[in-house]
Amino acid sequence: MELTNIGTVRDILSRHGFSFSKGLGQNFIINPDICPKIAEMGNAAPGFGVLEIGTGIGVLTAELAKRADKVAAVEIDTRLMSILDETLADFSNVKIFNEDVMKCDLRGLISREFAGLRAAVCANLPYYITSPVIMLLLESRLPVESITVMVQKEAAQRLCARVGSRESGAITVAVNYYGTVRQLFGVSRGSFMPSPNVDSAVIRIDPAAEPRLPEYEEKFFFKVVKGGFSQRRKTAANAVSSQLGISKEAVYEALKASGQNENARLEQFTLEELMDFSINLHRIAQ
């Protein structure tokens, strides 16, 4: 079935009485070049199980299923289930979970569904939960080799920014902490139905095999990053002391121990500088 043919898509949707939900971020891909590229650049290959988040009518799901050994897909919208039964009828290696990805036991799902396989994530993410989904995937340290996702262009720029640059944010620090990230290609708004108001881009995150910090340092590090970046125009001393309830003197001492001056701002730190500052602050504030 040609799921990028507008006529075919309209026919399926109208036969099933389906109307798009803006709230669920439903913009389906109709440009035939995009899904094969995401699948090929996202590890959909023999020996792999691929987890997809948000199937829509299954346009990407089908391209993943053609290439990978198995596809497990999580889709929240129950109205799409009968559509997927029809559009994915030719594939015996796809399993759909009608669940909210934010509440799903993804680790359990991967170990059950992909036993003996390598694992990857591929998705055209619903835009309203881009950052929470990416953080969930990274924080839960899923045993996946790559996370290849389409996000809004602005989100891609932030995710792929250099840590320490103006464009970076707490999420930039997080993806660089957990692995490496790069932009694969841009996608214009006309590639979707309905067409959104912004362009998109596909990025790939390759999670690191080993954590950079021990668990107790990692927890504190993310408190510092989230607190510090929530007031990013303030000096590190002001932001961190007010957000974490640590005295300014302790923050000054940690800055000094890290070779930073008292007026430094967290958003200017590299990842290594942030980790160094966090370790010093943790030791001094204890």
Residues in contact with ligand SAM by the rule CB under 6 A: 24-29, 53-56, 59-60, 74-77, 100-102, 124, 126, 129
Pick between residue 97 and residue 252 the one whose CB is nearest to ligand SAM: 97
| Burial (CB count <10 Å: 0-12, 13-18, 19+), residue 252 | middle
**Closest separation between CB of residue 3 and ligand SAM, Å?**
8
Q: Cβ distance 194 to 211 under 8 Å?
A: no
**In whole angstroms, how close is the CB of 283 to ligand SAM at the nearest point?**
39
Q: Which is nearer to ligand SAM, 126 or 169 (CB)?
A: 126
Q: How far is the CB of 174 from ligand SAM (least distance, A)?
A: 20
Q: How far is the CB of 128 from ligand SAM (least distance, A)?
A: 7
For ligand SAM, give the closer residue by CB, 81 or 208: 81
Helices then strands, each counted (H, E), the chain: 12, 9
Contacts of 117 (CB under 8 A, 6+ apart): 47, 48, 49, 69, 70
Q: Which two tokens stand for residue 27?
A: 């913009």
Taking CB atoms, the residue at the shortest distance from ligand SAM is: 54
Q: Between residues 63 and 267, which has the closer beta carbon with respect to ligand SAM? A: 63
CB closer to ligand SAM, 96 vs 237: 96
Q: Give least dist CB 121 to ligand SAM, A.
A: 12
Name the minimum Å distance from CB 102 to ligand SAM: 5
Give 12: exposed, middle or buried? Use CB within 10 Å, 0-12, 13-18, 19+: middle
Residue closer to ligand SAM, measured from CB, 102 or 208: 102
Query: Cα separation of 75 and 92, whole Å?
Result: 18
Category of 211 on φ-ψ map: left (φ > 0), alpha (ψ -120 to 50) or beta: beta
Strand partners, 95: 72
